[in-house]
Amino acid sequence: MFSYTSTLAELHNLPTTDISQRAPRILCLEKECSRIQKSLKSTSAIPAPMRSKIARNCRSIQDQALHDRAVLCHGDAWLGNAKYADGRVYFIDFEDALFANRNFDLGAMAYSLTARDCNINPCIHWLLQGYNSRSATSATLNTIKPYIQLRSLAVCCFLLGHTRMDEQLIPTLLNRVEYFMGDKFEADIECMRANEPCRNPHPFTKY
């Protein structure tokens, strides 16, 4: 994990123009949140109270992003889009590359770890350590947390909008959304910060 995120930091360190650091950082999140909102309107699987909660979460993330500097992001940074060979990490599939806050990629990477059968605490620790070893801007649990939540919403809405979605998985997906948007996730963030075992381990599926 250290090598993966240190390489991700190298991508984020690539020089960008002043213009690319400004407007796109807002527009990319507006686009992502708009896509989530559109998915919410097209599915009846999500109860109305949760729809409102998701909308509030999206607005909160957008408000935080207004103060963030944009970098060149991969856009779909998870382990399936990275390969390790000859002592180096190589990222592939840049179809979703965009200018956004660096935590956009880090949140996606951290979220992908929750779908794996692993001890999440050391993984998150090395994710942050690896990234900060090559970045002048430090990433923390606080900075990546809203982007983990954003990724969870995007994945949920994508799957709910999929025509071949198994309806038996819908309750599990909604439970995941409740977890990431509720007190249990907040409690687990505090456990990670204190390097303690999470209190609510793995309410997860392969998604």
Name the residue ranges covered by the structural domains of the chain.
2-193
93 SS3 class: coil
pLDDT at 149: 87
Q: Can you give the pLDDT at residue 43?
A: 72
Q: Where are the beta strands (DSSP E) in the chain?
A: 70-73, 82-85, 88-91, 98-101
Angle CA 159–203–199, to nearest 5: 145
Closest CA to 112 of 102, 123, 101: 123
Q: Label residue 44 exposed, middle or buried (CB < 10 Å: 0-12, 13-18, 19+).
A: exposed
pTM for this one?
A: 0.84
The total number of residues written for the chain in this structure = 207
Average pLDDT of adjacent 10-residue blocks, the chain of 207 residues: 92 74 57 79 76 80 70 90 92 89 92 76 91 91 88 83 71 84 87 80 49
Task: Name the CATH superfamily housing domain 2-193.
Answer: Aminoglycoside phosphotransferase (APH), C-terminal lobe (3.90.1200.10)
pLDDT of residue 135: 92
